[in-house]
Amino acid sequence: MNNLRRAIVWLSRVGHCRGFGIQSPTDYAFVRYVINEHWPYYAYDQLGGGDWLRRKQGRLCFRLANWRQPTVIVDQTHQAEYLQAGCRRARIVPSADTIQLACLPVDCDYQSVLARCDSRSVVYFHDIWQQPRQWRAIVADPRSRITYDLYYCGIALFDPQRTKQHYIINF
């Protein structure tokens, strides 16, 4: 992605920085301390090369695993290094019957993925900006209760007790 396009995306989302406008304390804390956490974590120095976007998304996967602390992580986005560093006790698998934390491409069969989610499931969708129609279908699905659009990726939470909400975040 070129620098001009990256600047345009950032400027169009500048009003959505660091949880501004989020009224739910739980969602605000998630945005501030998981999605947009800027403090260096203990494993950042040992993790990953690659371009800035791969590193940024990998660090988000690391923070999600660190926050959720699952026993099984479904990874189809090649972020296993970051996920394992975030939760050392977790097993990284390509598929599972019940999803605790999953990192999937947005063009996956989301119907079968959402059917395997429970109230504590967290699903990270990779490269939503390349397939916006698929991402909008995931957001519209009644099973995905809280969704975060980070432009490059998306996160869906599935707690049925929560009111359906969609947030656009400047990531």
What is this structure's pTM? 0.85
Please enumerate in sequence order all residues whose Cβ is within 8 A of that of 92, keeping only pairs 6 or more positions apart, or say none: 73, 75, 80, 83, 84
How far is Cα of residue 34 from the mean position of the Cα atoms in its chain?
10
DSSP 19-34: GTT---HHHHHHIIII
Helices (H), 48-115: 52-68, 80-86, 110-115
- Segments making up each domain of the chain, as ranges: 3-168
The CATH-assigned architecture of domain 3-168 is 3-Layer(aba) Sandwich (3.40)
How far is Cα of residue 59 from the mean position of the Cα atoms in its chain?
10
Give the pLDDT of the chain (171 residues) as one tens digit per residue.
577 766 666 565 555 565 566 778 888 888 888 888 777 777 777 777 778 788 888 889 999 999 999 999 999 988 889 899 888 999 999 888 999 999 999 888 889 998 999 999 999 999 888 888 999 999 999 999 999 988 889 999 999 999 899 988 877
